[in-house]
A and B are shown apart, each in its own frame.
Chain A
Amino acid sequence: MNKKTKFIVLGSVLILTFIMVLLVVIYNKPHTNVANSKADITLTAQTILNDFENDENNANAKYLEQIVEISGTISTLSINDNKGIIALKNEGSLGTVMCHLTPEETIKFKNLYTGKPVIIKGICTGYLMDVILVKCIIK
């Protein structure tokens, strides 16, 4: 084998390995870590509910898949399948902001009670009678 072929073979192996590693990294791209990410939008439960109630399409464009940080008052607390759900109430609307917590965050439930003001960060997935947030953490 002359020097040139050696160089080409070595080069292609390196490039292939690089591409493979890159593909594996892309394939295994981690989910957004809500706790370590900065909120895209910070607002009150009242505001987000009003936005969805007034114009759902517009609100979808604004909030879907965004990390939102919401301040509000707890109206109900429930646990379903080890995952806590906090509903934030709003005077004058039928719906609430339903925050679905991660199982790890659910441990904090013992410090919560109805009527307590809280700040919750999560990812908004849409509106079904209530505004839905997933992967929530309590700040």
Chain B
Amino acid sequence: MKSIYITICLFLCVTFTYGQEKFLTKQGEVSFFSSTPIEDIKAENHQVLSIIDTKDGSLAIAILMKSFMFEKSLMQEHFNENYVESDTYPKAIFKGKIKDFNSLNLNTNEVVITGDITIHGVTKSIETKAKLIKTADSLLLNGTFTIQIADFDISIPSVVANNIAENLNIDFKLNHNPYNK
């Protein structure tokens, strides 16, 4: 009988600490920007899911392609139907790690993130710098990186090739809070 109580206690302890180790946001912001002499294109997504495991600093991000909002509905339509083919590939995924996460202190830190990003069914390794502002109950991850459209097997028709930059700047702002089930 005693052993059952001990098991239950241990289980509760484990789940309790488990809950404290994950930081999460469901309203992360990711936006990208393409600038050419002809036009600027910007799209914003405010429904990004991001999870940091504070045990080892691993980071997982999931993005719905259809949640990117453009200024012009035609751009949004082309983006979804012709470029990222969001019916076939509805999500972009990042899986990686924040380097030396356990040695970070409370305050602003410059961190390096490494991992694999999957867009349009194509996976690429990336490494980028970011800013991590750490408080007792939040982890704010902020930064910018660049991707090449061609790397992700996305073909831009020559008619609009001059309107869309070959490299996109991607901004992210992910404000994580402790995850309580």
CB distance from B24 to the nearest CB of A (A): 9
Chain A, residue nearest B91 (CB): A126
Residues of B within 8 A of A61 (CB): 87
The docked-state distance in angstroms from the alpha carbon of A130 to that of B47 is 10
- A28 interface neighbour in B47, B62, B72, Cβ under 8 Å: B72
Residue pair B74, A27 in contact (C-beta under 8 Å): yes
User: Which of A30, A64, A85, A126 contacts B73, CB < 8 Å?
Assistant: A30
B90–A81 CB distance below 8 A: no
CB distance from A40 to the nearest CB of B (A): 15
What 1/0 flags go to A70-94 for Cβ under 8 Å of B?
A: 0000000000110101000000001
The chain B residue with its CB closest to the CB of A60 is: B90
Please give the distance in Å from A95's CB to the nearest CB on chain B. Answer: 10
Total interface residues on A, CB under 8 Å, equals: 25
Count chain B residues whose beta carbon lies closer than 8 angstroms to a beta carbon of A.
20
Measured CB to CB, the nearest residue on chain A to B74 is A29
Tell me whether chain A's interface is mostly helix, strand or loop, or mixed.
mixed
Our count of residue pairs bridging A and B at CB distance below 8 angstroms stands at: 55
B67 pairs with A81, CB closer than 8 A: no
In whole angstroms, how far apart are the Cα atoms of A31 and B49 in the complex? 25
CA distance A26 to B77 in the complex (A): 12
CB-nearest residue of chain B to A127: B64
A64 surroundings in chain B (CB, below 8 A): 66, 86-87, 90
Point out the residues of chain A lying under 8 angstroms from B74, CB to CB: 26-29
Q: Does B164 contact A (CB under 8 A)?
A: no
- In this complex, the member of A32, A83, A85, A132 whose beta carbon has the largest number of chain B beta carbons within 10 angstroms is A132
B173 smallest CB distance to A (angstroms): 10
Is A9 among interface residues, defined by CB-CB distance under 8 A? no
Given A28-B72, A125-B47, verify A132-B67 contact (CB < 8 Å): yes
Residues of B within 8 A of A121 (CB): none
A128 at the interface (CB under 8 A from B): yes
Q: Return 27 A-B CB contacts under 8 Å, by A number.
A: A26-B74, A28-B72, A28-B74, A29-B72, A29-B73, A29-B74, A30-B73, A31-B73, A32-B73, A60-B87, A64-B66, A64-B87, A64-B90, A65-B80, A80-B27, A81-B46, A100-B46, A100-B47, A125-B66, A126-B66, A126-B90, A128-B91, A129-B26, A129-B49, A132-B64, A132-B67, A134-B67
Which chain A residues have a beta carbon within 8 Å of chain B's beta carbons?
26-32, 60-61, 64-65, 80-81, 83, 85, 94, 98, 100, 125-126, 128-130, 132, 134
